[in-house]
Amino acid sequence: MTLRNPALLRSECYLNGAWVHADTQRTLNVTNPATGDIITTVPACSAAQTRAAIEGTTLAQRNWRKRTAAERAKILQSWYQLILDNQDDLAQIMTAEQGKPLAEARGEIAYAAAFIQWFAEEGKRTYGDVIPSPFPNSRIVVIKEPVGVCAAITPWNFPAAMITRKAAPALAAGCAMLVKPAEQTPLSALALAVLAEQAGIPAGIFSVITGDPVEIGGELTANDKVRKLSFTGSTAVGRLLMQQCAPTLKKLSLELGGNAPFIVFDDADLDAAVTGAIASKYRNSGQTCVCANRFLVQASVYDAFAEKLAQAVTALKVGHGTDPTVTQGPLIDEAALCKVESLIADAIAGGATVIGGGRRHELGGTFYVPTVLTDVAASMRVAKEEIFGPVAPLFKFDTEAEAIQMANDTEFGLAAYLYARDIGRVWRVSEALEYGMVGINSGVISTEVAPFGGQKSSGLGREGSKYGIDEYLEIKYLHMGL
């Protein structure tokens, strides 16, 4: 990796404004999933270091909350600008540790930066209320205040955006944020910290701690100085963290797993549906929580859609993310690859047919050929579990009611997609879907201006948009006697 700004690649944590080396032999290796090479090591911080970081964060936040929103916005704007100025280097670091193609990594950096710009502005608009008082001799005023010290635990699939989506509203609102990035992708988080420091974000307001999730997560959840935890990751870990937060009753934002249906009705523009399917399913090699997980296709267009999708998939190119012609990087690790293989084996055993892919790629490692499966049934594991890989299973339905029933037949409720032209059907189905987000004739839904989040086992809270900052604000009511 040749960076224009080599200072962005760090092997220390950033805690309370200081770059902290591993104080013992406790380190974590950061591996390039495309090559298996170790890029560098980062500290595996202890619970005691986590506690000390929370102490520093607590002190720092007392001053940060007193700054005006406009002052905070100015600093956040400069962080935003520095991220864009370093977009190519940040993308290279991301591709090295995560595997996604450079173009996608560059896109994620722009998306990550956009949250900072958006919330820098939103921070200026945390309006309160004056409520008409029912009493002649008192007045009622509502103000909004920062929640306080916040922690974030973030995943490896979007190593930058999942951090800024939490840190930007927190900082804009006057909170401080201590981030524990995924152990697979700490380098993007540390690079963001380099630029946060350069932007003038005061010591302790944005910190990055790396290490064992159980040890650090244990302290972040148990410590009563942490008033809010924002987590993006699996539903199983989300449940565990919610339990761990119960004794100190922290506020929680949980962005958890999904099992997105992608419904293709007989009146859909099939070519547009295929384009949307490719974008929704194969982006990041299928490793996003809003990736289409189940394609529900109306019987009369099932064969045509399957054929067009299988054809479109052959145009995807698997390889190293650094190759500009590549659209599909490796899966994050061997465990991810094994899961994909076992899901496909289960589907084939149950009678599914592979019409594209269905095997490891010649490049070896964790590269997998984009796959399309037909004749898939609701009893198979692919219908129930988050695939998190480049596999599109196609289910058949006859009626609108059946499509809705199948789409909602899951514990998850993050994103859903539907392709149809009949406006009545579009409304009916959109309203019937038990999901936090619905892509209508659109396979890409993420933007900083819209509320991202799920229902049911997909979590709590919304990120991005004008709603996202509320998660970092407390409402305070002032009853004023005259």
Strand partners, 297: 264, 396
Q: How far is the CB of 212 from ligand ADP (least distance, A)?
A: 8
Under the binding rule (CB under 6 A), the answer on residue 217 touching ligand ADP is: yes
Asked if 30 touches ligand ADP (CB under 6 A), the answer is: no
Q: Long-range contacts for 39-42 (Cβ within 8 Å, ≥24 apart)?
A: 39/1, 39/96, 39/97, 39/187, 40/9, 40/11, 40/187, 41/11, 42/10, 42/11, 42/12, 42/13, 42/186, 42/187, 42/190, 42/210
Asked if 366 touches ligand ADP (CB under 6 A), the answer is no
Q: Is 255 a catalytic residue?
A: yes
Site stretch for ligand ADP (CB under 6 A), options 66-74, 115-123, 231-239, 362-370: 231-239
How many Cβ atoms are within 10 Å of 455's Cβ, its own excluded? 15
Among 15, 44, 91, 153, indicate the residue that binds ligand ADP (CB under 6 A). Answer: 153
Q: Measured from the CB of residue 151, what is the shortest distance to ligand ADP in angstroms?
A: 10
Q: Which is nearer to ligand ADP, 190 or 403 (CB)?
A: 190
Q: Which stretch binds ligand ADP (CB under 6 A): 72-80, 236-244, 344-352, 370-378?
A: 236-244
Binding status of residue 182 toward ligand ADP by CB under 6 A: yes
Give min distance, CB of 180 to ligand ADP, in A. 6
Closer to ligand ADP at the Cβ: 32 or 465? 32
Find the shortest distance in angstroms from Cβ 240 to ligand ADP.
6
Q: In the complex, what is the shortest distance from the CB of residue 134 to ligand ADP, in angstroms, rounded to a whole number? A: 46
Instruction: Compute the chain's Rg from CA coordinates.
Output: 23
Nearer to ligand ADP, 151 or 403 (CB): 151
Helices (H), 385-422: 400-408
240: Cβ contacts below 8 Å, ≥ 6 apart: none
Residue 385 in the binding site for ligand ADP (CB under 6 A): no
Q: How many residues make contact with ligand ADP (CB under 6 A)? A: 14
Nearest to 147 by CA among 237, 249, 49: 249
Residue in 173, 180, 201, 185 with CA at minimum distance from that of residue 80: 201
Give the distance from CA 401 to its chain's centroid: 31
Nearest in space to 479 (alpha carbons), one of 126, 66, 145, 137: 137
* Residue span 409-448 as binding mask against ligand ADP, x where in contact by CB under 6 A, dash where not: ----------------------------------------
- Smallest distance, Å, CB 214 to ligand ADP? 5
Residue 155 near ligand ADP by CB under 6 A: yes
Placement of tokens 């539903």 in the chain: 235
Phi, then psi, of 272 in degrees rounded to 5: -65, -40
Residues 348, 259, 108, 16: is their CA dihedral positive or negative? Answer: negative
Given 255, 386, 463, 471, the catalytic residue: 255
- For position 154 contacting ligand ADP by CB under 6 A, the verdict is yes
Nearest-angstrom CA–CA distance, 194 and 342: 40
Q: Which of 59, 214, 338, 378 binds ligand ADP (CB under 6 A)?
A: 214
| Measured distance CA(162)–CA(183) in Å, rounded | 14
Q: Note whether 445 and 288 are within 8 A (CB).
A: no
**Nearest Cα to 145, choosing from 173, 176, 105?**
173
Q: Shortest gap between Cβ of 224 and ligand ADP (angstroms)? A: 17
Query: How far are the Cα atoms of 27, 398, 412, 439 from residue 258, in angstroms, in the given order?
Result: 32, 24, 5, 14
- Decide: is 240 part of the binding site for ligand ADP (CB under 6 A): yes
Per CB under 6 A, the list member of 233, 276, 459, 461 interacting with ligand ADP is 233
Query: For residues 155 and 174, which CB has a smaller minimum distance to ligand ADP in the complex?
Result: 155
Task: Indicate which single residue of 107, 202, 213, 451 sits in contact with ligand ADP (rule: CB under 6 A).
Answer: 213
Q: Which of 35, 81, 234, 408 binds ligand ADP (CB under 6 A)?
A: 234
Q: Which residues are catalytic?
A: 255
Contact residues toward ligand ADP (CB under 6 A) are 153-155, 180, 182-183, 213-214, 217, 233-234, 237, 240-241
